[in-house]
Structure 1
């Protein structure tokens, strides 16, 4: 697939994930759900949508996450010259998804000014969440490729429960969440530290997993049946 189609795939996938995230958040608030119920709404919605998107788009090479693109470049799977283009497509799709979700919910589209609240604990949480995501991705691609979409979706759904940002270990969603009109979601001034934490977690996972499985041979592809 040529680069333009791959970039459109990235934008489409990221946009739909953000629509699911923001839409479920709005529905939870509209129904008067508690904080716990709201997180349940978001985790189930995002997990299901992401699983579907990965099953459909993963064969096309979709990353749907700048951290995964960065990790692929570190592993020499994606040319570094394409990384900025991937990131722009992912960020653009996420922002467009945020605008669409807020339009669907009749919510204001403008940024809401909020003071930053990022601290060391939240930085560590984002780093660990992204580190775990990359371990899941690398492990599945290496040993169980067919399980990759479901494993990623399950892990990402779980991150809703142990990260304050609820950005799904995804720098593109950090930007989209920071641009949200929801008060208290995330300050635009936190974007830099959150993205840095996620990219650091991705890099650590790449290097650690490369060392752990460096001498482990890849599973041999199934042999073709003999013709008779």
Structure 2
């Protein structure tokens, strides 16, 4: 039986999906961090709980909202999609990419404030978790480059439908194998600055982390071009990326 193509939702619905998805993702990240820190004094146990919750939540959100917006929830993913798919039919343009990034930023802030409120904490408190050491910035560059390479690689090999599982698994692993804890998301990084908790980041550390993430995005795009070339994406689900 031939699959009937699904009409692409309008930009407003796609942007709404990105806002809601990013808000939900940051709520999961921050909320699980608060819960884990409260339940166990062991940092390793807290990190394990937070990484599992974050990965599971991300996978579910990509599966649920990916068919609407592509399931980016991350300006790094939006920017790599915009660059890699320029010139293709239905490729995101500058206007769509800008709208996505704005929605992701608003969603991330809303998600952090919601998580803080749910746990009876004062919303809007700046984090005091300083994360500015050079080795952390290297880790964040590696984490973001790997994520971008994964997203673009899945498209190039015609397996974008694997994104919910593959991206979630990568993030779960990267939280452990990178020194930075794999934020790998400029919008979520800004949101996490509004939570003085296990998953937070001090405002003064934001410029370095975001710069590292942008550098990682460029490196990931370059690696994807080196390994896979500039071929067009394959498969009927080419808009779903993660």
Same fold (TM over 0.5): yes
Residue by residue, what CA displacement relative to the aligned partner does 1:27-48 show, whole Å, maximum 9, x if unpaired?
Answer: 1122124100011111110111
Q: What do you get for the CA RMSD once the two structures are aligned?
A: 2.2
Of residues 109, 132, 137 in structure 2, which corresponds to 1:123?
137
Cα separation, 2, equivalents of 1:215 and 1:183: 40
8 A Cα contact 1:124 1:197, kept in partner:
yes
Deviations 1:27-79 (A, max 9, x none): 11221241000111111101111111111111222211100011112212421
Of the three residues 40, 53, 78, the one matched with 1:69 is: 78
Q: How does 1:9-20 map to 2 (within 5 A)?
A: 9-20=17-28
Matched-pair contact (CA < 8 Å) for 1:6–1:62:
no
Name whichever of 81-90 and 122-131 sits farther off: 81-90
After superposition, the Cα gap between the structure-2 partners of 1:38 and 1:89, relative to the gap in structure 1 and judged at 3 Å, is same
Q: Highest CA radius of gyration, 1 or 2?
A: 1
Correspondence for 1:154 among 147, 169, 178:
169
Q: Secondary structure at the match of 1:7?
A: helix
Alignment equivalent of 1:93, drawn from 91, 97, 107: 107
Q: In structure 2, how many angstroms separate the alpha carbons of the residues matched to 1:150 and 1:201?
A: 22
What SS class does the counterpart of residue 140 from structure 2 fall into? helix
Instruction: Identify unmatched segments of 5+ residues in structure 1.
Output: 222-228
Following superposition, the deviation at residue 189 of structure 1 comes to 1.5
**Contact 2:27–2:112, Cα closer than 8 Å, also in 1:** yes
Q: How many residue pairs get matched?
A: 221
Using the TM superposition, give the Cα deviation of residue 103 of structure 1 relative to its aligned residue in structure 2, in angstroms. Answer: 0.6
- 1:133-172 superposed matches below 5 A: 133-143=147-157, 144-163=159-178, 165-166=180-181, 168-172=183-187
SS of match in other structure, 2:152? helix
The aligned residue for residue 65 of structure 2 is 57
1:105 aligns with 2:99: no
The alpha carbon displacement at 1:8 in A equals 0.7
Q: Distance in 1 between matches of 2:29 and 2:95?
A: 30
The 3 A distance-change label for structure 1 pair 78 and 20 is same
C-alpha distance in 2 between matches for 1:5 and 1:216: 29
**Cα distance in structure 2, aligned partners of 1:154 and 1:201:** 19
Question: Which consecutive aligned stretches of 4+ in structure 1 deviate over 4 angstroms post-superposition?
Answer: 215-221
Give me the whole-angstrom Cα distance separating, in 1, the residues matched to 2:230 and 2:178: 34
Q: Secondary structure of the residue that 2:126 maps to in structure 1?
A: coil
SS at match of 2:64: helix
Report the equivalent of 1:224. Answer: none
8 Å Cα contact 1:98-1:180 kept in structure 2: yes
